[in-house]
A and B are shown apart, each in its own frame.
Chain A
Amino acid sequence: DAGITQSPRHKVTETGTPVTLRCHQTENHRYMYWYRQDPGHGLRLIHYSYGVKDTDKGEVSDGYSVSRSKTEDFLLTLESATSSQTSVYFCAISERGGILFNEQFFGPGTRLTVL
């Protein structure tokens, strides 16, 4: 199994509070991704990174920001959480993003509830 951990695994917070989710990898893969998973929507890309300090927006980036100061860590921040951001968040890593074989390995997920 790819070495990917996510923290926290579960979090309950209140509307308007900031929240930061952490993804940590031990595989030294270049590409890292943050997805959210909601019933009926599959996995939707929030942001991704193609190197240290190199990030780009995904399909549903509004209300989210990311940072990657080290290869192994990719942080997802909700500046002011809203109830619509209640979801399960997955981090994924890939060695060869976008070059035919963008095979991604996923972390265990973080279940976030915004009350």
Chain B
Amino acid sequence: TQLLEQSPQFLSIQEGENLTVYCNSSSVFSSLQWYRQEPGEGPVLLVTVVTGGEVKKLKRLTFQFGDARKDSSLHITAAQPGDTGLYLCAGGSGSARQLTFGSGTQLTVLP
């Protein structure tokens, strides 16, 4: 069974601060995705990374896939209250038809 561990589980910061969320596993994944979920809604896909060492930027969000494709990080620069939400990482394996989700990081950005 593949497991994804996310850290920290909870994070509360002030507007304008930077933060990093981590997603780690002992298993290799062929792809890794990050989703954001707001209260009362389903998760929404932010990005997919597939190559070891890959870095993708989405405005103030920077996503990195580890060289060995076992871990990933999400860095937010100058966080805003609109970034508040549950961030979930999910790993995919080429032969499997399903994703493995991490338990999530609940981010609160205070104005």
Contacts and interface: CB of A to CB of B under 8 A. Distances in A.
Interface of A: 4, 31, 33, 35, 40-45, 48, 50, 56, 58-59, 90, 92, 97-109
A23 to B, nearest CB: 11
Contacts, number: 71
A42 B101 contact: yes
A33 B30 CA distance: 20
B48 interface: yes
Interface centre among A33, A41, A101, A103 (most CB of B within 10 A): A103
Nearest to A107: B42
B94 interface: yes
Given A43-B43, A44-B101, A103-B48, 20 more contacts: A35-B101, A40-B103, A42-B101, A42-B103, A42-B104, A43-B90, A45-B98, A45-B99, A48-B98, A97-B98, A98-B94, A98-B98, A100-B30, A100-B31, A102-B98, A103-B45, A104-B45, A106-B42, A108-B40, A108-B42
Interface of B: 1, 6, 9, 30-31, 33, 40-45, 48, 50, 88, 90, 92-99, 101-104
B48 to A, nearest CB: 6
22 contacts: A4-B42, A33-B98, A42-B6, A42-B103, A43-B43, A43-B101, A48-B98, A56-B97, A58-B98, A98-B93, A100-B31, A100-B50, A100-B92, A101-B31, A101-B48, A102-B97, A103-B48, A106-B42, A106-B44, A108-B40, A108-B41, A109-B40
Interface centre among A45, A58, A104 (most CB of B within 10 A): A104
